[in-house]
Structure 1
Amino acid sequence: MKHFAPKRAALRLFAAAGLAALLPAAALAADPIKIGAVVSATGPASFLGDPQDKTLRMYVERINAAGGVLGRKLELVLYDDASDANKANTFVRRLAMQDEVDAIIGSSTTGATMAMVPLVEGAKVPMISLAAASVIVEPVKPWVFKMPHSDRMAAEKVLADMKQRGFTQMALLSDTGGFGKSGRTETLKAAERMGLKVVEDQVYGDKDTDMTPQLTKIKSSPAQAILVFGTGQAPAIIARNYQQLAVKQPLYTSHGQASMEFVRIAGKAAEGIRMPSPALLIAGALPDSDVQKAVSVAYQKGFEGQFKIDVSTFGGYAHDGLLMLVDAIKRAGSTDKEKVRAAIEKTTGFVGVSGVYKMSATDHMGLDVSAFRMVEVQNGAFKEVKQP
């Protein structure tokens, strides 16, 4: 037996060496797909970022439980920018340079997203924003896409509803943040195109707690309807001020208020307010023939069942962004960044809770105004306004 020991030892060493040679490839195949994310889970924009945080975590867990993507698990590397654009810039740098993620989702606000864009473009990492302003994808930036409907689309949807009601003069009340500024610009352009006269053009700070001076001016103006373009809690304060002043002109908001949180904060003052919204807010009332019903109802049930809070359109953008990214990785058959970027850009017919997306080399949002439904708050709930 001793005569064969050296040969057996040599065979064991050879086998071990062979296994070691195979380990790097096996380990590489098992490496997770790293999805970076920056959201405003805390701070003034937490009403956007918190449901996005929850949605991303929930769906990464579900995808991994179902076997992952391309035989690999997803690893979510998620940072909270606390509604601070400077922090968003710091975190996206970390995601690209230190964490070496395969793609990025975020951030929740236009300001934070725009702080991230230059580094993303320089690092050539595909990024899907969860913020709304048109400037994010106009002009087109090769590595940047976004899920939410644009401020231009929101303005057009609201103004079309005003015109259908016979209004020809309107008032605009917008916040001084990135979303409000962009929304104001797009509304003024849309009004000129669509033949509505803006007779009052008022602004407010997103942290202001009383907008009665602006509303008092609007009340006494010839405006026949009012559009509030902003995010956060301020539009709910405006709704309460509007009710206190007994303003008669119909009140509209942008899609930035398309959530039950707005209704909860505004209370009875929310009644009668109209706004453009994705199908998600009226998912249960959609006809079975609507292609968005199944995916919207499934997301709503899953989210509300797990977190015991109302679903929001803002979380819906995270749902669509993550699932579109996963779909692109599958079609690319790889996490090669250029291949994934190209696959996102070629996305067509992707049914999300926010619309049916059709991306292209000239359109990195992939939605048009038909993706919006006009809704009105009635008895504390959103109801679709049937338009001719």
Structure 2
Amino acid sequence: MQNYIKYLVALTLVVALIAVGCIGCGGEEEETYKVGAVFALTGPASHLGVPEKQTVEMMVDQINDAGGINGRTLEVIVYNTETSAEKCATMVNRLIVQDKVLAIIGPSTSGESLAILDTVTTAKIPLVSCAANIGIVQPVEERYWIFKTPQTDKEAVTEIYIYLEDQGFTNIAIITDTSGFGAAGRVFLIADAADYGLTIVDDQTFTSADTSMQSQLTHIKGTDAEAVICWATDKESAIVALDMQTLHMDIPLVCSHGIANMNFIEQAGTAANGVIFPAGKLLIIGDIPADDPQKEVLTNYKADFEALYGEGTVNTFGGHAYDALSIVVSALEGMEEGLSLAEARAAVRDGLENDVKNWPGTGGVFTMSPTDHLGMAPGSLAMIEIVDGEWTWLK
């Protein structure tokens, strides 16, 4: 199936590249800057894609109400990937060939992002992913057209392990999703444990279709694990939390940054209390100092988003889309006039790589470069505990 998809992608892009060579040959200028977006609006990752789409729609209205970009209207064409790598590839090709967008933001998940790397590279169009997997932007020499905004799985693992080491833990168990996100987290959990004096005494996995993790957790319960680390997004992590509660497992549950929204708390109920996880500062904005370089952007994004969608609705996943579209808009603002489509796409790519310097976003402070297509400064993640259904910063 994957080979078939790649064949169709390659065939489509041959046609696309022929067409691109003629676009803008006469130096014609459009009235609109078109950007594409692919988000998981339905399917298992819709809790990521929906706030991403909501964020983009909010931003487009704000930008156009303020006069647009260089006097031009911004249009973002959003397609639903249905949390499917195959559907994502189809929609990305439509954005490239039919819609002729200048850049693409998304997808929502690591698996979808990894599946389209060859597509966007062949088409020579910049992609700013909203997913975590470090392989999306590394090795950077093979990711010339690829950027991303969320913290990586490795950074999240590091924050967790520093916390566990500081708390005196030595034996841990891990339980991870077999998806792209979960599998990537598992790699770093295993690779880095010894560096922090930690021993993994049990290593369990599950699929996103599983509705019970009691078998895996019963096995963990029979070990001398002092804490459980779960690497998944909110739905599966909530099942783990609930099953640990059912099994009366009185050891800490530490989760990934994939639970950084209210959905996890709503699904896990009282089992969410005591869960610890790393996340961007958006969730604990009231606790960060006034001189933090992210304070203003976090405050404004939260206020604007919740004014439209309701109190308590803001989360870090929408923030990834905010950062992605913001840096694309910045690149468009610096772009020369009269470029062909191919030249404009290249100019946006160059702007992302060369002009994003000490830029405060919702996820961190970004400095992109030819050797770093994430460029996030240290200290972007905070360790958070859920207490009585609320996020609390573990300073």
Note whether the superposition's TM-score is higher than 0.5.
yes
Is 1:95 the counterpart of 2:95 in the alignment?
Answer: yes
Q: How does 1:242-253 map to 2 (within 5 A)?
A: 242-253=244-255
Give ranges in structure 1 of 5+ residues lacking alignment. 1-23
SS in 1 for 2:243: helix
Q: How does 1:134-173 map to 2 (within 5 A)?
A: 134-140=134-140, 141-173=143-175
Is 1:319 the counterpart of 2:322 in the alignment?
Answer: yes
SS in 2 for 1:173: strand
Aligned-partner Cα distance in 2 for 1:170–1:256: 19
**Residue correspondences, number:** 362
Contact 1:174 1:181 survives alignment (8 Å): yes
Aligned-partner Cα distance in 1 for 2:82–2:346: 30
SS in 1 for 2:132: coil
Q: Deviations over 1:147-195 (max 9, x none)?
A: 1111111111101100000011111100111110111011111113333
Counterpart position of 2:359: 350
Q: How does 1:246-261 map to 2 (within 5 A)?
A: 246-261=248-263
Counterpart position of 2:4: none
Counterpart position of 1:3: none
Aligned-partner Cα distance in 2 for 1:178–1:267: 27
Counterpart position of 2:61: 61
Residue number among 233, 236, 245 corresponding to 1:234 in the alignment = 236
Aligned-partner Cα distance in 1 for 2:264–2:36: 29
Task: Please state how far the C-alpha of 1:332 moved relative to its aligned partner.
Answer: 3.5
SS in 1 for 2:358: strand
Aligned-partner Cα distance in 1 for 2:303–2:268: 25
The code of the aligned residue for 1:311 comes to V
Q: Deviations over 1:194-217 (max 9, x none)?
A: 331111111011121111111112
Is 1:281 the counterpart of 2:283 in the alignment?
Answer: yes
The code of the aligned residue for 2:113 comes to T
Counterpart position of 1:359: 368
TM-score when normalising by structure 1 = 0.90
Q: Deviations over 1:235-258 (max 9, x none)?
A: 001111111111122110000001
Counterpart position of 2:334: 331
Query: RMSD in angstroms over aligned alpha carbons?
Result: 1.6
Contact 2:365 2:377 survives alignment (8 Å): no
Give ranges in structure 2 of 5+ residues lacking alignment. 1-23
Max radius of gyration: which structure? 1
Aligned-partner Cα distance in 2 for 1:227–1:311: 25
The code of the aligned residue for 1:95 comes to L
Aligned-partner Cα distance in 2 for 1:275–1:360: 29
The code of the aligned residue for 2:350 comes to A
Task: Please state how far the C-alpha of 1:267 moved relative to its aligned partner.
Answer: 0.8
Aligned-partner Cα distance in 2 for 1:88–1:232: 22
Identical columns (%): 40
Check 1:266–1:201 CA distance in 2 against 1; reply closer, same or farther (3 A cut).
same
TM-score when normalising by structure 2 = 0.89
Counterpart position of 2:14: none
Aligned-partner Cα distance in 2 for 1:246–1:291: 42
